[in-house]
Amino acid sequence: MKTTAWLFDLYPLHDRMVLWFLTPEGKRLRLVDDFAYRVYLGGPEARLRGLARAWKKGGWVQRVYATRGRDLWSGEEIPVLALELKSYAHLPRLRDWLGAQKEGLAGYNCDLDLAAYYLYRRKLWPCAWYDLEVRDGGLLSIYPLEDQFALEYTLPPLSIMTLGLTRDPLIPLAAGNGLVVGWEDHHLELEAQDAPSLVRELARLLKGQDPDLVLSDWGDEEIIPPLWDWSQQYKVPLPLDREPGPAPRRFKNGRSYFSYGQIVYQGASAPFFGRWHLDRRNSFFFRESGLMGPVQIARLGQMPLQQAARTSPGTLITSMQLARAVADGILIPWRKGEPERFKSAAELLVIDKGGLTFMPPVGVHFQTAELDFASMYPTIMTIHNISPETVNCGCCGGNDAAEGTTGLIEGEKVKRGKGEKGLVDINLGREVLIPLCPSSPFSPGLKPWPSPHKPVPEAGYRLCRRREGLVPRTLRPILELREGLKARAREVGPGEARQYQERQNALKWMLVTCFGYLGYKNARFGRIEAHEAVTAYGRDKLLTAKEICEAGGYRVLHGLTDCLWVKKEGLNRGELDALCREISRATGVKLALEGIYRWIVFLASRQDPQRPVATRYFGVFEDGSLKVRGLSCRRRDTPPFVRRAQKALLERLATAATPADLAALGPELEEMAAGFRQRLRDGDLKPQELVITRVLSQPVEEYRVDTATALAARQLQAAGIHLVPGEKVRYVQLERKGPKETRVRAAPFLDTLDRYDTGHYMELLDRAIDEVLLPFAGVSSEQ
């Protein structure tokens, strides 16, 4: 049977992949695909021959054969042994065996996520339409009907059920907390009754509605795990999945990890099988971009949507690099090899810097514009060919490196064809041919900037001129798609623009992280020299931009990594656009006018009012929109009341265009500020308005100082609620001094709150008010 359908969900089950499709008529299709996990072994050929004989006799593998693959670091083709495992369960044992081998044997492609590896190998991606050929519930062939990086695509109609809690998520389900279920225009609060009847009630609704998507708040940690436990315990079936047999359900634990020097907590996950469960409180991409975020990244990252939604941008960009590597026939090293080359202390001093900063003059400025480089770091990686394997590569140091070899990883060598779309029939025993490195040497479209022969500024590293690196190959299509989405968002009306905005925003985070990952010692495709090369080029380009601005008669007020603020009497859009074009030409990175400010304020350091700080500023563009960075209202530890007060003042300020306007607003703003102070003193604010949110930076026991955060976390601990690093603590400050037990009150114990530390909140409020009003104290109407 042939049909058209949308790839919805997939997961491994008993050594096969199960795929769920939705048809345009709204039917659900469950199909099975035999897929053997294939790993590669590299080493001396004699050793590989010996191993091949041994493996054939053993019971783990269904196929063993000699083949070739491309080494990531050298770009050379090397002989390898391919092993196709009989069972997915043998994978950990194979890794154990590999780990125990002595030097000289390298394992490749042996630690990839099963579903993702399946998608890489089959060249498929979720949330796209395919033509399928089906027989007896098995997938015979599959062909995509759209491009992976398409600007436009459609989703089939999805039936949605929502799930939430009636009270604070720290209160356990059915022990003070109730379940809220919604579908279409229904909204039902299931009373917090006994556990079995709660399960029974939800089971009835799930069965009746059979939603494609269950969209929850706190479902991953607070709702699904207890419901599932009760379902097992009381033998009440709960049809979370569409998988007919028992699903391989396991709740992945939450974990705390560091990212960009900050601790983050990724909650446990409770995915469904054949149905989507998305916990919007536990999905970075959903929080950032709504449903289109996870959909877009599941396609690009070639990852099941439920996994993609819960993953970090770093894991996602790694997945794209892995997909690229598999598609290009590159062998994926098991653990990262390359150690960082030794550097002298003097070298470190020169190289180990981040973005460049110019310090702004404190105070209010008029006639000022902001210019931003678009996706500066990813563009640098792309145009300068920066990738872990291209920095000080082995092939360009000498003279006669292998140039332009193409071939196939399995099967005989052939010339690379044009427009290699790379879609293959499902193999069903047939060998899948994988082209090697399609852009080796540099593809015709790639123009190294300005010359690949020049060493990296400051660091002096060389970059490969023969092979385009894995990172640039991965980034180029993302950059193109993001530019396309941004352009589309500008063309269409505001209503339609939203989905394009959501999608381009999801891509932004992948691009940002891709750069960050180059610097991680343990990232699979990280290499510190590559990271340094990127920031070195970044500083070089910002400096170039500054010089061009100054040559054009502009005064550069401020600069921050990839943005510039410039000032000139009578500055206008036409001249600025021309300036941007000139800088874009000179640097190879697109510089665009972010906007002309009616006025902008650069704030002073609070410790030394003479000294500016780089990252705190606010201003109003010509169209009246605000840009605010680093102020109280941008901080997550600012209580909502203070945040709202500051925002109200800012919004009033945004109506002023000229120095005279600003001066005239003074009395009204003071009056507003007085009003906020009075409300605080009156003491009738709701506790929710005063909640301070902080992230736990370490295990509760390890706090040496009794900060409010530590006290609040201990209060929760005493009530049996255990928090781990990266989780949020919410509390209200009751009194600053006095016994530690009563200084703060943690949420969710705020219902009975009858007082708060007015002095503390007044300080926060004053600080927020001063931040936005004090800079205008000296502004007179003549300025």
Sites of contact with DNA (CB under 7 A): 255, 257-263, 312, 314-315, 318, 322, 352, 354-355, 519-524, 560-563, 603, 605-607, 613-616, 629-630, 634-637, 693-698, 702-710, 736, 760, 763, 767
- Dump the DSSP string for 117-158: HHHHHHT--SSSEEEEEEETTEEEEEEESS-TT-S-------
Gap between the Cα atoms of 576 and 293, Å rounded: 33
Between 61 and 518, whose beta carbon lies closer to DNA?
Answer: 518
Between 51 and 695, whose beta carbon lies closer to DNA?
Answer: 695
Between 416 and 647, whose beta carbon lies closer to DNA?
Answer: 647
For 604, the enclosing helix (H) or strand (E) is: strand 591-604
DSSP β-bridge partners for residue 557 = none
Closest distance of CB 725 from DNA, Å: 8
Q: How wide is the angle at C-alpha 631 spanned by C-alphas 540 and 762, nearest 5°?
A: 155
3-state secondary structure of 429: coil
**Could you tell me how many residues make up the chain?**
783
Looking up tokens 């219902």 gives: 751
Closest distance of CB 109 from DNA, Å: 12
Closest distance of CB 194 from DNA, Å: 36
Q: Which of 317, 318, 454 is nearest to 384 (CA)?
A: 454
Between 440 and 513, whose beta carbon lies closer to DNA?
Answer: 513
Closest distance of CB 217 from DNA, Å: 21
**Whether 279 contacts 216, CB under 8 Å:** yes
DSSP β-bridge partners for residue 272 = none
Q: Which of 332, 297, 265, 316 is nearest to 108 (CA)?
A: 332
Residue spans of beta strands (DSSP E) within 185-320 = 186-190, 213-216, 255-259, 262-266, 276-279
Closest distance of CB 263 from DNA, Å: 7
Q: How far is CA 387 from the centre of its chain?
A: 20
3-state secondary structure of 344: coil
Between 69 and 314, whose beta carbon lies closer to DNA?
Answer: 314
Query: Cβ atoms within 10 A of the Cβ of 550, count?
Result: 12
Closest distance of CB 726 from DNA, Å: 9
- Dump the DSSP string for 451-478: -TTSPPTTT---B-SSS--HHHHHHHHH
Between 149 and 260, whose beta carbon lies closer to DNA?
Answer: 260
Gap between the Cα atoms of 773 and 601, Å rounded: 10
Gap between the Cα atoms of 340 and 531, Å rounded: 12
User: What is the DSSP-derived secondary structure letter of residue 462?
Assistant: -
Closest distance of CB 638 from DNA, Å: 8
Between 555 and 767, whose beta carbon lies closer to DNA?
Answer: 767
Between 74 and 697, whose beta carbon lies closer to DNA?
Answer: 697
**Whether 299 contacts 265, CB under 8 Å:** no
Closest distance of CB 589 from DNA, Å: 12
Closest distance of CB 736 from DNA, Å: 6
Closest distance of CB 771 from DNA, Å: 9
Closest distance of CB 632 from DNA, Å: 9
Between 28 and 252, whose beta carbon lies closer to DNA?
Answer: 252
Gap between the Cα atoms of 392 and 463, Å rounded: 6
3-state secondary structure of 677: helix
Please provide residue 79's backbone torsions phi and psi, each rounded to the nearest 5 degrees.
Answer: -75, 140
